[in-house]
Chains A and B, each alone.
Chain A
């Protein structure tokens, strides 16, 4: 259980890591330090956004996901393809063939996350009508954004949509359907085809029970297995269920388009998300009812485990939106039934992660803060990263937290050496008393 809590999908390949400082500067939660020539990820701060994977010139960062082998353990393996998966293929390959391809790879069934998004959108509408929550309501679909809020914006936890993500909803629906077909829970394996490491983490952290996700396989992996055969597959009669409403969730803006009319906004790219969250925290954007926020530029199609360039993927998605323009309505009594069964309920309660606090004791924390300010006056302010911390301020914080020392900064080290050499010089020109006497005498006479 505890192991699950600290599971992170973003990992480091020590051999490939050269100890350069690209990743430490890029990380939105300052979770990485270079120590002894290798990058180290602070598990408590990491939100699995994948920015470090994207920036690493040595490909030393990677996302730990499952292999296709994992599905063989289950007699009844179900594939949950992310809407972004569809966007990887050229437009002349039909959606039916893509889904058929998943069955070809050994899955017994496919449940589209895009359909789950359509179902969830109905519930979000229902929820927004009640207006019981602080506005803007922030979408809970992107797990990296959810974690970012828990780590850096704990006061916005009250704004987070208290409903499950499309993935969580679909996992429960898929398992429920399979059980209705007569399969026993241990026979059913639910696998997400994922565009990003954050969703791998979300899958690994899923709890036992209806919502359990047994594994997450990267889009890139499945794509490589499918790309050479998918064209030759037969067109299945009626496999795709989802329409533009759900498929649109593959890219930024799709969520709000699937909701009813209202004052909605969409922001993508983690650094832009941070700046919008800061504005929300300061009380701006109160007229906005719903804020869709995705850590990757372009939305899920921009995930690091996708293969296609996100802007090309967007073109593919736009084609699909036109092609699947007919939305299959969902009966209200079905939604009601699912609601009662807890399909939309968020399994994990949002929790503030107090990693930014300098000390448990308030006065001690204040002292430490002031020590940081003093240290900053001494540090060069170049944010060069040579010390292994992302900025001079981060180094100062590390020093007061006891995780680094002043001479980790090469400039401070140089100053210390300079002073030391001055001292050595001064000492060297001093002469012991006994000898001094003689010298003096010889000088005198």
Chain B
């Protein structure tokens, strides 16, 4: 009955270009999931997808807000950024396609697997993007899925 009640909500800000703190939000999220007691395999795919989403903001956008909602049977993540948006979403989903500038790729980031990784790890993925304004990534992870 109460299945769709948000049990916990965490909201964190991400700054574009801040590579020193990059990964902190996902790292904190991992600790929450671990302490709350979700199974390791579930946590792993949430964290991989969360990290990709977080890094996308750091690499491409100016700033973003990362919101996690924990339900009894799922984890819901929304990442809302102010940034350049994605002009060709289909192309962005292609593995290895990246618009990250060379100096960022040299650091080992922006290899072009972000979106496809998010799709692979999540159970539901929605992307709402407006060129010149920003991107919103919505992901759901169900505890009882077979992934």
Mask for B41-58, Cβ within 8 A of A = 1, else 0?
101100110011000000
Q: Is B35 an interface residue, CB under 8 A from the partner?
A: yes
Q: Is B1 an interface residue, CB under 8 A from the partner?
A: no
Mask for B16-38, Cβ within 8 A of A = 1, else 0?
00000001001100111011110
How many whole Å from A274's CB to the nearest CB in chain B?
11
Contact indicator A155/B35 (Cβ below 8 Å): no
| SS of A interface (majority) | helix
Query: How far apart sit A284 and B108, CA to CA, in the bound complex (Å)?
Result: 9
Q: Is A6 an interface residue, CB under 8 A from the partner?
A: no
Query: How far apart sit A278 and B43, CA to CA, in the bound complex (Å)?
Result: 13
Query: How far apart sit A281 and B29, CA to CA, in the bound complex (Å)?
Result: 12
Interface size for chain A: under 10, 10 to 19, 20 to 34, or 35 or more residues? 20 to 34
How many whole Å from A80's CB to the nearest CB in chain B?
34
Contact indicator B37/A365 (Cβ below 8 Å): yes
Query: How far apart sit A359 and B36, CA to CA, in the bound complex (Å)?
Result: 7
A363 — which chain B residues lie within 8 A by C-beta? 7, 72
Q: A363-B7, A363-B72 are in contact. Are A281 and B44 (CB under 8 A)?
A: yes
B31 — which chain A residues lie within 8 A by C-beta? 356
Q: Is B40 an interface residue, CB under 8 A from the partner?
A: yes
Query: How far apart sit A283 and B40, CA to CA, in the bound complex (Å)?
Result: 14
Q: A155-B41, A278-B23, A363-B7 are in contact. Are A369 and B47 (CB under 8 A)?
A: no
Query: How far apart sit A357 and B30, CA to CA, in the bound complex (Å)?
Result: 12
How many whole Å from B27's CB to the nearest CB in chain A?
6
Contact indicator B7/A358 (Cβ below 8 Å): no
Q: Which of A126-184 contact B (CB under 8 A)?
A: 154-155, 157
How many whole Å from A364's CB to the nearest CB in chain B?
9
A359 — which chain B residues lie within 8 A by C-beta? 37
Mask for A246-286, Cβ within 8 A of B = 1, else 0?
00000000000000000000000000000000110111100
* Number of B residues, CB within 8 Å of A: 24
Q: A356-B35, A357-B35, A366-B36 are in contact. Are A283 and B7 (CB under 8 A)?
A: no
Q: A155: which of B44, B52, B117 is its contact (CB, 8 Å)?
A: B44
Mask for B119-138, Cβ within 8 A of A = 1, else 0?
00000000000000000000
Contact indicator A357/B37 (Cβ below 8 Å): yes
Query: How far apart sit A358 and B32, CA to CA, in the bound complex (Å)?
Result: 10
Contact indicator B8/A357 (Cβ below 8 Å): no
Contact indicator B40/A155 (Cβ below 8 Å): yes
Q: A352-B40, A363-B72, A366-B8 are in contact. Are A358 and B35 (CB under 8 A)?
A: yes
Contact indicator A155/B32 (Cβ below 8 Å): no
A284 — which chain B residues lie within 8 A by C-beta? 51, 108
**Which residue, of A154, A283, A354, has the highest number of chain B Cβ atoms within 10 A?**
A283
B35 — which chain A residues lie within 8 A by C-beta? 356-358, 365, 369
Q: Is B70 an interface residue, CB under 8 A from the partner?
A: yes
How many whole Å from A76's CB to the nearest CB in chain B?
44
Q: Is A360 an interface residue, CB under 8 A from the partner?
A: yes
Contact indicator B36/A369 (Cβ below 8 Å): yes
Query: How far apart sit A359 and B38, CA to CA, in the bound complex (Å)?
Result: 11
Contact indicator A360/B48 (Cβ below 8 Å): no
How many whole Å from B126's CB to the nearest CB in chain A?
21
Q: A157-B40, A362-B36, A363-B72 are in contact. Are A281 and B47 (CB under 8 A)?
A: yes
Q: Is A439 an interface residue, CB under 8 A from the partner?
A: no
Q: Is A370 an interface residue, CB under 8 A from the partner?
A: yes
Besides the known contacts A282-B47, A283-B48, A283-B52, 7 further A-B residue pairs in the complex with CB atoms under 8 A apart: A155-B44, A284-B51, A358-B35, A358-B37, A360-B37, A362-B37, A369-B35
- Hey, which bits of chain A sit against chain B, CB under 8 A? 154-155, 157, 278-279, 281-284, 352, 354, 356-360, 362-363, 365-366, 369-370
The 16 sampled A-B contact pairs (Cβ below 8 Å) are A154-B40, A155-B40, A155-B44, A155-B47, A278-B27, A281-B44, A281-B47, A281-B48, A282-B23, A283-B52, A284-B108, A356-B34, A356-B35, A369-B8, A369-B32, A370-B8
Q: Which 5 A-B pairs have the closest CB atoms?
A: A282-B51, A283-B48, A155-B40, A155-B44, A154-B40
